């Protein structure tokens, strides 16, 4: 649970006056487009299928440690070797034929999406304006370096542009470099997406994923002055509730949390979920799992960017016109994407990116509009006052309030103080269901069981003070929302997860038990991660799996845009219609 010390810089956003109800979401839908890392130590690439001709320039100089050139052939892989020369192009002397190479560039960080046709080392290119990035051989990925150096000068060689391949990159950083050095990269392929076109320095589009990550007080203050936020609203009736609010608390064993008097008071207002489980340790993978249906092997709290072709619950909500927002206590401004922000008086940890799952997913972070709906908790009270609260809300207290840096006593008091007035407020209580739970337990060597509480006016008064002992985990948070509004699924572990029984009784979803977790002779702890795209402790890493696009549960099929994006993907899937999920001791057994 160590806070990553990175200070990357990133997009602000907040205040656009979007139409009511929810705007036309199709303009921002995720269709499996490419995403952009900066450097990688491990990279695989997809193969291009068609080509056209164009040209681009190469770098004249590059500093040691910048990416260098490979040579061109049909293997279409990217070099992971850093340049050790300062000669033109910074060629990689030992790179295999067909690898991508890097030159140097200017501050615009523009990079061509083409590959060289020559077979000479480096596959250098020509006939383009000075200042563009250079290429070796490879495919159509839009990966670019953020390292700046001497502007490129034209050289001579034709190149070929791939026009119908697809790539998506996994970006994870674990250093303090403002250049965002990437420690691991996996790339998956979706045959239905298209590549980006050759870009020129003067026409580079806004990189919302990385534009405003600066965490220095002066940078944050400047961004706050122009930050935008938006508050779209809607009213889509659900089968069991019309509004869903989840509040995340931190790192407390089940027995400690049920003994807290304030949490006990909240439990008396609703239903105690006595067999609710986190899916691994530490915090970040649990938050990620709760919005996109897998933790992808994350076993750290690093700065991570999950590719844009990985969809989230936001895609499902927007498909049905259901409004949503995140409210993050002490987030310095709406759309902030930095690794964290500390209290400027006490220097205590306040907002942290690892507790903001939507910003971790590039499918959300690469949209100005979606960033504008990730807001400070103060915006919650503004929206409440204006009667503009959305139908789906994700609420995260700061690192003091959630108990992470303090105790369950602090977390319980904060949660009761936040909720008690709202439970009497008609602007909040509109057939509302509130889920309060912890992300993970504190003792890593025991089962990862945590307290969950369901309350609100959508919970029948006859169930106040009762206990539901069925098995649930963070994926139930997604499946319950899917069942209530009859949404599509993500095709991952969300599809088969148990729906909360109070909701399932109205949606027709049946509870399935998992005795290996809930039985007296339990053998599954859910306290470690399996090898995945973002694993630090387990190797070799696996790519991000494709969703199971044919899976249907209780009539709910996978979102059509996800099916389109992943049809024909070169990677397999391991998702099944089951409540039994993998962990480090029981990794996914079958890829198909």
Same domain, 144 and 283: no
pLDDT of amino acid 213: 63
Q: Is residue 219 domain-resident?
A: no
Give the span between the Cα atoms of 363 and 374, in whole angstroms: 13
Q: Is residue 590 domain-resident?
A: no
pLDDT of amino acid 214: 66
Give the span between the Cα atoms of 410 and 404, in whole angstroms: 9
- Is the per-residue pLDDT at 67 higher than 90? no
Give the span between the Cα atoms of 454 and 440, in whole angstroms: 17
Mean pLDDT within 297-305: 97
Domain boundary among 153, 179, 206: 206
- Is the per-residue pLDDT at 42 higher than 60? no
pLDDT band of residue 225 (cuts 50, 70, 90) is confident
Mean pLDDT within 77-101: 34
pLDDT of amino acid 212: 72
Give the span between the Cα atoms of 270 and 468, in whole angstroms: 10
In DSSP notation, 229-245 reads ----------SS-SEEE
pLDDT of amino acid 307: 97
Q: Is 483 in contact with 505 (CB distance < 8 Å)?
A: no
Angle at 231 between CA 384 and CA 244, to 5 degrees: 65
Mean pLDDT within 141-159: 29
Same domain, 141 and 264: no
Around 111, how many Cα atoms within 13 Å sit in the side-chain half-sphere?
Answer: 24
Give the span between the Cα atoms of 67 and 93, in whole angstroms: 12
| % of the chain with per-residue pLDDT over 70 | 65
Same domain, 186 and 248: no
Give the pair of three-digit tokens for residue 167.
């790539």
Q: Is residue 575 domain-resident?
A: no
- Is the per-residue pLDDT at 168 higher than 80? no
Same domain, 190 and 317: no
**Which residues are known to be catalytic?**
405
- Is the per-residue pLDDT at 362 higher than 70? yes
Mean pLDDT within 328-356: 93
Same domain, 328 and 419: yes
Q: Of 38-47, 142-151, 164-173, 314-323, which one has max mean pLDDT?
A: 314-323
Beta strands in 412-492 (DSSP E): 432-438, 449-455, 466-468, 472-473
- Is the per-residue pLDDT at 257 higher than 90? yes
- Is the per-residue pLDDT at 531 higher than 60? yes
At residue 420, φ and ψ (nearest 5 deg) are -55, -45
Q: Is 88 in contact with 150 (CB distance < 8 Å)?
A: no
- The number of beta carbons lying within 10 Å of the beta carbon of residue 405 is 17
Q: Let me know if 437 is exposed, middle or buried by CB neighbors in 10 A (0-12, 13-18, 19+).
A: buried
Same domain, 189 and 249: no
pLDDT of amino acid 551: 98
Give the pair of three-digit tokens for residue 27.
């303009």
Around 590, how many Cα atoms within 13 Å sit in the side-chain half-sphere?
Answer: 4
Q: Is residue 480 domain-resident?
A: yes
- Is the per-residue pLDDT at 76 higher than 50? no
Buried b / exposed e over 49-65, threshold 16 CB at 10 Å, is eebeebbbbbbbbbeee
Angle at 330 between CA 328 and CA 335, to 5 degrees: 60
pLDDT band of residue 262 (cuts 50, 70, 90) is very high
Q: Determine the structural domain holding residue 292 and report its residue range.
A: 243-566
- Structural domain total, the chain: 2
Same domain, 127 and 178: yes
Same domain, 380 and 429: yes
- Is the per-residue pLDDT at 203 higher than 80? no
- Who wins on pLDDT, 592 or 29? 592
Same domain, 173 and 259: no
How many residues would you count in the chain? 592
pLDDT of amino acid 442: 98
Q: Is residue 7 domain-resident?
A: no
CATH number at residue 412: 3.40.720
Q: Is residue 179 domain-resident?
A: yes
Q: Is 288 in contact with 518 (CB distance < 8 Å)?
A: no
pLDDT of amino acid 221: 87
pLDDT of amino acid 215: 77
**Out of 142-156, 158-172, 221-235, 376-390, least confident range:** 142-156
Same domain, 396 and 516: yes
Coil, strand or helix: which one is 462? Answer: helix
pLDDT digits (tens, 9 = 90+) for 386-433: 999 999 999 999 999 999 999 999 999 999 999 999 999 999 999 999
What pTM value is reported for the model?
Answer: 0.70
Domain boundary among 156, 184, 206: 206
Q: Is residue 212 domain-resident?
A: no
Same domain, 149 and 293: no
| % of the chain with per-residue pLDDT over 90 | 59
Same domain, 328 and 258: yes
Average pLDDT, the chain: 74
- Is the per-residue pLDDT at 17 higher than 90? no
**Out of 170-174, 268-272, 276-280, least confident range:** 170-174
- How far is CA 306 from its chain centroid? 5
In DSSP notation, 98-149 reads TEE-B----TT-----EEE---SBT---BSS-TT---B-S--S---------
Q: How far apart are the first and last CA of the chain?
A: 34
Strand 159-162 with 114-116, pairing: antiparallel
Q: Is residue 313 domain-resident?
A: yes
Q: What is the DSSP letter of 263?
A: H
**Out of 124-133, 285-294, 475-484, 529-538, least confident range:** 124-133
Q: Is 91 in contact with 120 (CB distance < 8 Å)?
A: no
């Amino acid at each position: 649970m160590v806070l990553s010390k990175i200070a990357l810089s990133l997009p602000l956003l907040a205040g656009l006056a979007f139409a009511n109800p929810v705007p036309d979401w199709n303009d921002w839908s995720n269709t499996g487009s490419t995403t952009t890392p900066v450097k990688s130590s491990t990279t695989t690439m997809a193969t291009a299928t068609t080509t056209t001709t164009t040209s681009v320039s190469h770098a004249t100089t590059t500093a040691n440690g910048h990416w260098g050139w490979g040579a061109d052939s049909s293997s279409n892989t990217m070099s992971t070797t850093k340049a050790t020369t300062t000669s033109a192009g910074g060629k990689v002397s030992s790179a295999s034929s067909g690898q991508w190479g890097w030159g140097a560039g200017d501050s615009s960080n523009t990079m061509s999406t083409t590959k060289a046709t020559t077979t000479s080392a480096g596959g250098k290119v020509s006939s383009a304006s000075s200042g563009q990035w250079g290429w070796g051989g490879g495919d159509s990925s839009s990966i670019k370096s953020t390292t700046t150096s001497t502007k490129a000068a034209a050289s001579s060689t034709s190149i070929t542009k791939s026009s119908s391949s697809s790539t998506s990159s996994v970006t994870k950083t674990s250093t303090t470099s403002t250049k965002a050095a990437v420690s691991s990269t996996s790339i998956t392929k979706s045959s239905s997406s298209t590549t980006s076109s050759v870009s020129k320095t003067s026409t580079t589009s806004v990189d919302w994923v990385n534009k405003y990550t600066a965490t220095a007080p002066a940078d944050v203050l400047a961004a706050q002055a122009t930050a935008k936020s938006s508050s779209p609203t809607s009213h889509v009736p659900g089968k069991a509730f019309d509004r869903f609010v989840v509040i995340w608390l931190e790192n407390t064993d089940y027995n400690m949390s049920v003994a807290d008097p304030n949490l006990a008071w909240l439990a008396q207002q609703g239903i105690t979920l006595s067999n609710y489980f986190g899916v691994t340790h530490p915090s970040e993978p649990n938050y990620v799992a709760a919005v996109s249906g897998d933790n992808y092997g994350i076993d750290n709290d690093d700065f991570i960017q999950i590719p844009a072709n990985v969809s989230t619950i936001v895609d499902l909500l927007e498909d049905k016109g259901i409004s949503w927002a995140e409210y993050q206590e002490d987030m310095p401004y709406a759309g902030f994407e930095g690794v964290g922000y500390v209290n400027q008086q006490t220097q205590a940890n306040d907002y942290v990116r690892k507790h903001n799952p939507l910003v971790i997913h590039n499918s959300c972070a690469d949209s100005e509009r979606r960033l504008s709906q990730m807001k400070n908790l103060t915006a919650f009270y503004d929206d409440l006052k204006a009667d503009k609260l959305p139908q789906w809300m994700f609420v995260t207290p700061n690192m003091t309030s959630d108990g992470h840096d303090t105790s369950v006593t602090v977390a319980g008091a904060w949660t009761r103080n936040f909720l008690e007035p709202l439970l009497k407020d008609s602007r909040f209580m509109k057939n509302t269901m509130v889920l309060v739970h912890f992300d993970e337990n504190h003792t890593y060597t025991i089962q990862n069981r945590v307290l969950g509480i369901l309350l609100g006016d959508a919970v029948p008064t006859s169930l106040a003070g009762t206990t539901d002992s069925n098995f649930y985990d963070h994926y139930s948070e997604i499946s319950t929302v899917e069942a209530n509004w009859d949404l599509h699924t993500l095709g991952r572990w969300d599809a088969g997860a148990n729906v909360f029984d109070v909701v399932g009784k109205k949606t027709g979803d049946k509870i399935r038990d998992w005795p290996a977790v809930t039985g007296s002779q339990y053998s599954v702890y859910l306290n470690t991660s399996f090898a995945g795209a973002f694993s630090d402790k387990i190797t070799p890493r696996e790519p991000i799996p494709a969703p199971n696009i044919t899976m249907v549960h209780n009539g709910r099929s996978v979102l059509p845009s996800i099916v389109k994006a992943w049809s024909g993907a070169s990677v397999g899937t391991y998702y099944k219609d089951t409540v039994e999920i993998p962990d480090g001791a029981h990794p996914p057994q079958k890829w198909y």
